[in-house]
Amino acid sequence: MSIAFIADLHLDPVRPESTQWFKEFMNNSTGLLSRLYILGDLFEVWIGDDGGDALGQRAVENIIKSTANAGLDIFFIHGNRDFLIGDDFAKRTGCKILPDPTLITLGSEPVLLTHGDTLCTDDIEHQTARKEMMTSKWKIAFLNKSVTERMDTARSMRTKSETSKKTKSMEMMDVNQQHVEKVMREYGVLTMIHGHTHKPAVHEFNLDNVPAKRYVLGDWYTQKSVLYYDHGRFSLRG
Ligand code: MN
């Protein structure tokens, strides 16, 4: 049985094909996968666990729940779009929420899992906004608003982010290699897996003269990017 890693599905009822792919992927996982790690941005947006129905995401919750019931261990790390996923969601779907980053062991090797946006340290605007929204003060104030108000706020935040993205270079929105190395050193890993940048690749480099790897998952807008781990080997497909 394999372990799979996915990220950046950005599920949204306006793109039903991605939801359909997710459903097929989850249905096919029975007997093939032992564990699934979702490394953030499963949803295009999440406005709180009481807003899932308003966003039209009940079907996705049901897919996760039935797959978890069938025996798949499903783990979730927050993305910058769905950082408001909480304990109610976890309870409803049977998934387990992990902190970002999370250290796991594959074979005998430690591997660091992260959504990836914290690695993009050159994007000061994103890091500043992230810092503010991660505070419990911001979260409580936001979650205290009505579902309609939250939907409106999320929509205007998305428009604002799309506009400001146009002024940023690809390099600025990618990970900062020095920061990647710093984090890997801190956690004592030679392997890191993340999403967020939507640039699927296997980056090989030397970390203090030792070969290291960074696996980047792609999004699910036009492909189904999945990283599999089986018998000591990784394979990135999409
Ligand atoms: Mn992201």
Query: What is the reported pLDDT for 148?
Result: 96
Q: What average pLDDT does the structure give for the chain? A: 96
Give residue 158's pLDDT band: very low, low, confident or very high (50, 70, 90). confident
Query: What is the reported pLDDT for 12?
Result: 96
User: How far is Cα 44 from Cα 213, in angstroms, rounded to an integer?
Assistant: 28
Task: Compute the distance from residue 9 Cα to the ligand 1 centre, in Å.
Answer: 10
Task: Compute the distance from residue 118 Cα to the ligand 1 centre, in Å.
Answer: 10
Write the single-letter amino acid at 31.
Answer: G
Any idea which residue has 């996968």 for tokens? 33
Residue 226's domain comprises 2-237
Average pLDDT over residues 187-195: 98
Instruction: List, for residues 12-54, the tens digit of each pLDDT value.
Output: 999 999 999 999 999 999 889 999 999 999 999 999 999 999 9
Cα separation of the two ends of the chain: 19
Query: What is the reported pLDDT for 222?
Result: 85
Task: Compute the distance from residue 35 Cα to the ligand 1 centre, in Å.
Answer: 22
φ, ψ for residue 198 (rounded to 5)? 60, 30
Q: What is the CA radius of gyration of the chain?
A: 17
Task: Compute the distance from residue 209 Cα to the ligand 1 centre, in Å.
Answer: 30
- Residue 116, pLDDT > 90, answer yes
Domain count, the chain: 1
More confident residue, 163 or 207: 207
Average pLDDT over residues 184-201: 97
Q: Is the dihedral of CA 186, 192, 194, 198 positive or negative?
A: positive
Query: What is the reported pLDDT for 223?
Result: 86
User: How far is Cα 159 from Cα 45, in angstroms, rounded to an integer?
Assistant: 12
Instruction: List, for residues 74-100, the tens digit of each pLDDT value.
Output: 999 999 999 999 999 999 999 999 999
Query: What is the reported pLDDT for 29?
Result: 95
Task: Compute the distance from residue 195 Cα to the ligand 1 centre, in Å.
Answer: 7
- Provide the residues around ligand 1 (an ion) whose CB is within 5 A: 41, 79-80, 196
Instruction: List, for residues 53-72, the tens digit of each pLDDT value.
Output: 999 999 999 999 999 999 99
φ, ψ for residue 196 (rounded to 5)? 75, -45
Q: In this structure, what CATH number is given to the domain that contains residue 101?
A: 3.60.21.10
CA distances (Å), origin 47, targets 44, 167, 218: 10, 26, 24
Considering the entire predicted model, what is its pTM? 0.96
Task: Compute the distance from residue 84 Cα to the ligand 1 centre, in Å.
Answer: 13
Task: Compute the distance from residue 82 Cα to the ligand 1 centre, in Å.
Answer: 9
